Amino acid sequence: MTIGIVGGGPAGAMTAERLLRGTFPLQGDWDGVQVIVFEEKLDWEKPCGGGLSPKALKKYPFLLQAADKANPVRKMEMRAPGGASVCLDLRAPLAIYSRRELNHLLLERSEQAGAQVVNDRITGAMRHGNKWRLRGRAGCYEADYLIIAAGARSSLRNELAGSLNARDFMLTFGYFVPGSEDRLRIEFFEDFEGYAWSFPRRDHLSVGICGKIGHARMSELQQKLLGFMARLGYSSESSPVFSHLLPSLEVDSWARIRLEGDGWALAGDTAGLTDPITGEGLYFALRSGELLAESLLGGASYARSVWNEFGRKLMLGARICPRFYLGNFLGASVTTRMVQFCRRSRTYADLFQDLVEGNQAYYGLHGRVFRNLPKSLMEIATQSLGRRLRPQPAERA
Ligand SMILES: Cc1cc2nc3c(=O)[nH]c(=O)nc-3n(C[C@H](O)[C@H](O)[C@H](O)COP(=O)(O)OP(=O)(O)OC[C@H]3O[C@@H](n4cnc5c(N)ncnc54)[C@H](O)[C@@H]3O)c2cc1C
């Protein structure tokens, strides 16, 4: 039995590792199972922030333990469209990886588990009876089961599961800037479905911007990002530039998403499994790979597990997304209020930290915000009053 996995990113590498380390009862034809990962670029700097959330680190502690490869970050600065900002001391760190390091680590783990990694680009897949015939640039291969984990731009996906719409993606654009910082930075813009970021890795920063296709043009992204960089004193000169697609499925697309069929399955970005609001995809790539492996080893249906565990939460994210970026709350943009509330209300800042840590899902978020609103407003009013009553430096003297 040969399982062919196209793509050795987080989704493909994790699927391979978990298949080979499976603790589930093996079914049927699993004696002599062979897992081949086809990866065209091996350890490459995939365009990405490289930020692994506390939720991902809790689920996969080896990612935090590989401390020499990542930068654990405990400060998060957010800037609202009008210029208000807040810097939060995070209760749990994020780990910021260079994707070269992360992909290397994950592929190495899959090889240690027994996977064969083939450095080739698969250009076509045809079904002949029960077998898949894979056409690569360097050769032809056969597999009994085919997993496409080839990222957001995969054309193989389209042949099996149909294509996604343009509106199911965000455009991204950015630079890898030399330098180091102690905090990650996020900036929101007025009437813009996306954000700019600076994620500090061990020896450089990933600085970029994402914007929903159909809403943002590349020229607008460039202009906004250069403004963000100028304000922070980052130079784009001689910094490697990147651009890539980031899946951000619309509500309708979640309703017709197809994750598996006869002899094949999709995982990670290829399947569209990212958080439509934050763009977080690493956790979902890893987890979808794991759920797929468990399902193939005799566990529950893959599609159902994905849907129950996080698919429906991500679909709710897709519903909330336009309101988050474009909506108003108490007379200002939602992102402006979010920054102001985080700065002045302990209760609201706790809620936000729960969101970052993955302890507060989008389900129940609206209710919690409104239940806590009187308390948050009271904290804001008390803080404002305190500031007004506090003696000014001249008076103190
Ligand atoms: C600019 C940007 C910033 C991001 N920042 C973050 C972040 O900070 N945190 C976060 O959680 N998520 C982030 N994401 C999302 C994250 O990068 C993806 O969700 C994640 O990489 C998905 O993993 P994957 O394995 O599904 O796909 P990929 O990482 O894209 O891996 C697919 C692999 O398949 C290979 N491949 C493709 N086609 C073929 C082929 N035909 N044959 C052989 N090999 C092939 C590619 O070389 C690649 O290595 C970001 C995305 C972008 C675009």
Q: What percent of the chain has pLDDT over 90?
A: 86
Residue 391 C-alpha from the chain's centroid:
45
Judge whether residue 163 has pLDDT over 60: yes
Q: Which of 66-70, 94-98, 238-242, 370-374 has the lowest mean pLDDT?
A: 66-70
Which residue type sits at 115?
A: A
Judge whether residue 61 has pLDDT over 90: yes
pLDDT at 31: 62
Work out which ligand 1 atom sits closest to the CA atom of 208: 1
Burial (CB < 10 A; 0-12, 13-18, 19+), residue 211, is buried
Nearest residue (CA) to ligand 1, atom 41: 122
Q: Which two tokens stand for residue 171?
A: 């455009």
pLDDT at 385: 77
Cα–Cα distance for residue pair 121/278, rounded to 1 Å: 30
Q: Whose CA is closest to 249, among 213, 195, 209, 283?
A: 213
Helix (H, G, I), strand (E, B) or coil at 89: strand
Q: Is 165 within 8 Å of 248 (Cβ atoms)?
A: no
Q: Does domain 2-48+99-162+251-318 have CATH number 3.50.50.60?
A: yes
pTM: 0.95
Q: Which residues line ligand 1 (CB under 6 A)?
A: 6-12, 38-41, 46-51, 121-122, 149-151, 154, 172, 174, 199, 208, 244, 246, 268-270, 274, 279-283, 285
**Which segments of the chain belong to CATH 3.50.50.60?**
2-48+99-162+251-318
Give the pLDDT band (50/70/90) at residue 293.
very high
**Which segments of the chain belong to CATH 3.30.9.10?**
51-55+61-95+166-247
Cα–Cα distance for residue pair 315/337, rounded to 1 Å: 24
Cα–Cα distance for residue pair 141/25, rounded to 1 Å: 28
Averaged confidence pLDDT in the chain: 93
Cβ-based neighbours of 83, under 8 Å, separated by 6 or more: none
pLDDT tens-place string over residues 234-246 = 998 888 999 999 9
Q: Which CATH class is domain 51-55+61-95+166-247?
A: alpha beta
E runs forming strands in the chain: 2-6, 34-38, 51-52, 70-79, 85-97, 116-118, 122-128, 131-136, 140-143, 145-148, 169-178, 183-187, 194-200, 204-212, 241-247, 260-261, 264-266, 328-329, 332-333
Nearest residue (CA) to ligand 1, atom 10: 280
